[in-house]
Amino acid sequence: MQIKTITSLMMTLGLLVASMSYAGELPTHAELQKVLKTVVSEKNGGFGLNMWATLVDRDGMVKVVTFSGADRGEQWPGSRVIAAQKANTANAFSLGGLALSTANLFTATQPGGSLYGLQHSNPVDTSVAYGGDSNKIGTTNDPMVGKKIGGINVFGGGLALYDETGKLLGALGVSGDSSCADHNIAWKIRHLLKLDYVPAGVSPTKDDNMVNDITNGKSASGWGHPSCSPESTAIAKGFSQTHPVRVKK
């Protein structure tokens, strides 16, 4: 009986450890690429272009760089670094109690805004951004992986990532289309990855969704982002119903 009991306890402990080993981890390259391709195939209010996506951990270390097209040339080349900037920004300016998307930072960083000059801080490390073997770009061995990219970006496409316990794991950056479509794609990706247990935010729905309240160049809330198209605005506005943020357990 004792042997059976010990064996049972060991099996239970083994299962618990196995389940815990996946908690608090960022998605793999394959997992992110699969979800990216799925979301890019949907209507997102932009041009319908292929996209780059980047993940950074809480220390700002690049963990994954991938793209949705057949090869690295099917996305805007410049958007690879922009996606990484967005991930770095959302991670750098979000906390366990408040999430700020890159879209939320647009108005505040304009001249006269409360965060003007933020976009000039934390510059991109160009040796990380442009170094390494071009043939590895977008693969599991992308030259940026394992390094800190830095950079600040203040338009849509960067979102902090929170697991089911509310832990801030890092952030996602997406680029390759209009800034509004970038935000919509990032939002859908985060939702599908189930890393959207957002604690609080500055949007009307108290999360980090895009705020489209700019009229005659002035944002009513101070956190506004320009509207790129009626379709993209409608998609973002509908996220509270179609892709609502989750509540931590």
Average pLDDT over residues 133-139: 98
Are 162 and 199 in contact by the 8 Å Cβ rule? The answer is yes
Q: What is the pLDDT of residue 72?
A: 97
pLDDT digits (tens, 9 = 90+) for 181-199: 999 999 999 999 999 999 9
Residue 15 pLDDT exceeds 60: no
Q: Which residue has the tokens 């496409």?
A: 157
| pTM for this prediction | 0.90
pLDDT digits (tens, 9 = 90+) for 67-100: 999 999 999 999 999 999 999 999 999 999 999 9
Q: What is the pLDDT of residue 248?
A: 84
What is the DSSP annotation of 74-131?
A: GS-TTHHHHHHHHHHHHHHT-BTTB---GGGGTGGGSTTSTTTTGGGSS---HHHHH-
Q: 25-242 is classed in which CATH architecture?
A: 2-Layer Sandwich (3.30)
- In whole angstroms, what is the distance from residue 183 CA to residue 233 CA? 10
